Amino acid sequence: MSETSSTPPTKHVSAPPPRMSSPSWFAWLILLGFGFLLFQGVQTAEISAERLWRGMNNLVIFLAQAVPPDWSDLDVIASAMLETLYMAVVGVTAGIILSLPFALLASRNTSPYPVVRVVARFMIATMRTIPDLIWALIFVVAVGLGPLAGILAIVLDTIGFAARFFSERIEEVRPGPSQALTASGAGRISVIFGAILPETLASMAATSLYSVEKAIRSAVTLGLVGAGGIGVELSTSMRLFQYDKAFAIILIVLVAVIGFEQISSAIRKRVI
């Protein structure tokens, strides 16, 4: 045995911190609350082996009826899918254009007055917090059934999402260049467009592309509440138990969404 290992550990002036520390009362409270909700949740779902078994059987019956998919109405499905894409493109374009002023008003370094900033932030948060399906329900009441309701829902959903990310990026821009232009006597608007926005373009392009993907996914479901697009066809054929037609629609949706995500991520790679 070497001499060093046999010597007792050196006495330190101050002891090291304890190996474990008890969580705070706040952490205990959160844990307790979470545990309660989890337990109640499982109870409410009424999970039983018998129900799961029955569900599995129904699923097999659905699949048996759905395969092979019924392509006889392909022209109707295709035009509905096209309508969905139009809704997404129009909605997201309007949404992105409107996001920019919202983001500028909501960012610390570009907002003219603190009050404006608070109001803009609140509006953006509202648009984001209310889900797109609920916006669609509201707009169906306002403008009637059809794609316009869906487009409006996508516009608001896009602003809620994109304006927030734009604004976060705008606040991250380093202050130096704006300061330099201000110091040379440039006006506020010129500084925003000359020094702040050019630094954020790449990130905004990426956010916009992601918004397009998001809009296409939500455009598909908006039809379920009658706001236009392929969702209308899907919900009709499900209700009429035409599972084979529904399956064809689902496959088309799958191909379109995956295809679009591929294109969008390819563009994003080139931008960044």
Partner 1 sequence: MSDLSVIGLHKYYGKLHVLRGLDLHIKSGEGVVLLGANGCGKSTLMRCMNGLETVQAGDISIGDQVVTQTGGRALRHLRRRVGVVFQQFNLVENLSVLQNVLYGAMGRYPGGILRVWASIAPTELRSKAMDCLERVGMADNAGSRCRELSGGQQQRVAIARMLMQEPDVILADEPVASLDPKAGREVMDLLWEVVRERRLTVFCTLHQLELATAYADRIVGMKAGEIVLDSKTEAADSEHLADLYRGNTRVDAQPATAMDDTPKNGITAHDLEAS
**Site residues for partner 1 per CB under 8 A:** 176-177, 179-187, 189-190, 193-195, 198-199, 201-202
Q: Give the alpha-carbon dihedral of 58, 62, 65, 70, to 10 degrees.
A: 170
CB of 178 to partner 1, least distance (A): 8
**Exposed (0-12), middle (13-18) or buried (19+): which is 256, by Cβ within 10 Å?**
middle
CB of 14 to partner 1, least distance (A): 21
CB of 200 to partner 1, least distance (A): 9
> 78 or 189, CB closer to partner 1?
189
> 126 or 190, CB closer to partner 1?
190
| Both tokens assigned to 40 | 């109640």
Amino acid at 44: T
> 70 or 199, CB closer to partner 1?
199
DSSP label at 235? H
**Exposed (0-12), middle (13-18) or buried (19+): which is 39, by Cβ within 10 Å?**
exposed
Q: Which residue has the tokens 């499900």?
A: 238
Q: How far is CA 155 from CA 70, 126, 172, in A?
A: 34, 13, 25
> 153 or 191, CB closer to partner 1?
191
CB of 204 to partner 1, least distance (A): 12
CB of 208 to partner 1, least distance (A): 17
> 112 or 198, CB closer to partner 1?
198
The size of the chain, in residues, is 272
CB of 93 to partner 1, least distance (A): 23
| CA proximity to 157, closest of 109, 107, 221, 114 | 221
> 192 or 215, CB closer to partner 1?
192
